[in-house]
Amino acid sequence: MTHDSVRKLPCQCGELIDAAKQLPPNHVAFNPSRAGKYIYIRITVHAAENEINHALVVDTVTGVARMIESPMTKLQKTVNLFRGIEDLRMVEYDNRIWFAGTCTHASEHQINDLIVGYFNKEMTAVERIEAVEIGSRPVKNMCPFVHHGKLCLFDMFLMKIYELVETEDKKLEVIVFKTLTRGNGISDEVLRGSTSPIHLGGNRWGCVAHCIIYCKNRVLVTRLSYIHHWVEFDIDNGVITYISEPFFLGHWGIEYISGIHRENEKIHLYYGVQDQKALVAITTLADLRSGF
């Protein structure tokens, strides 16, 4: 589907962190997400020979922020340019903060794998992490959520929901829990995952997904802009019931929504801009559902 217009979502936008003032030189903050009271912000340290990713975790109740370094001893040795754990989505499960993300050296494949794990109870270190076979590589944008006590992953691109299970040898693996189809009249546009789903009531769940406008010219950076959509689905019947008109938050360009949190009537959307800033936009479900 093509679009000749796009709306600016009604919202209040603000930065989560002023990296220039609050972080050391060569550190950038972007692509945040949230689970419960904890906000994750991806921190990338730029050096001449590599870019190393860590997690800055903020307790929104106490205001305490901790830098959690990527657990290099739990990962494979590498000479890759991109190192550490990237673009985590978090979820509360079994009294822990679990995460799903990617890493270029979580296995011997040395290409973006799906990683799943959890932080320790003190939220000071990664306690568990492992590469999970999903059937293809590279892997991006797998979004965790909990449904009826099961730890699940949502794959918007393939329109599949996986359940994460532990094998007899204590390894994590995925099984297909549900394959989604599009309801009558729903756009057939190919979308990719952005945020974990949130429960809207009954069988209904909602999330933000995205598509990309590319530059046709032969340039190094081919992405011109991300375009967001609000998506709703019926998890029991496996049907996508609604895809909104396209929208952006506050920046037309590389604006990427990576996290979501519902607080009473407000929806908090966590996003990055130009891979350089971590921000939050506060809106409502009604505004996400609205058209022009």
- CB-CB contact of 137 with 150 (8 Å): no
In a domain, 135, yes or no: yes
Q: How much of the chain exceeds pLDDT 70, in percent? A: 97
The C-alpha atoms of residue 27 and residue 43 are separated, in whole angstroms, by: 7
**Which is more confident, 172 or 218?**
172
Tell me the CATH number at 34.
Answer: 2.115.10.20
- pLDDT reported for residue 117: 98
In a domain, 13, yes or no: no
Site of tokens 């009558």: 184
- pLDDT reported for residue 221: 66
Q: Is the peptide bond before 138 cis (omega within 30 degrees of 0)?
A: yes
Give the pLDDT band (50/70/90) at residue 292.
very low
Structural domain that includes position 225: 24-289
In a domain, 218, yes or no: yes
In a domain, 4, yes or no: no
Encode pLDDT of 237-260 as tens digits: 999 999 999 999 999 999 999 999
Mean pLDDT score of the chain, rounded to an integer?
94
Give the pLDDT band (50/70/90) at residue 290.
confident
The mean pLDDT value for 217-222 works out to 70
**Which is more confident, 196 or 136?**
196
pTM beyond 0.75 = yes
**With 60 as the cut, is the pLDDT of residue 7 above it?**
yes
Please give the tally of structural domains in the chain: 1
In a domain, 54, yes or no: yes
In a domain, 246, yes or no: yes
In a domain, 254, yes or no: yes
**With 90 as the cut, is the pLDDT of residue 262 above it?**
yes
- pLDDT reported for residue 2: 59
- pLDDT reported for residue 242: 96
Give the pLDDT band (50/70/90) at residue 19.
confident
The set of long-range contacts for 252-256, using a CB threshold of 8 Å and a minimum separation of 24, is: 252/225, 253/224, 253/225, 254/223, 254/225, 254/226, 255/225, 255/226, 256/30, 256/31, 256/194, 256/210, 256/226
In a domain, 152, yes or no: yes
Encode pLDDT of 62-80 as tens digits: 999 999 999 999 999 999 9
**With 90 as the cut, is the pLDDT of residue 13 above it?**
yes
CA distance readout (Å), 250 to 19, 82, 278: 19, 28, 12
- pLDDT reported for residue 137: 83
What is the tally of helices (H) and strands (E) in the chain? 2, 25
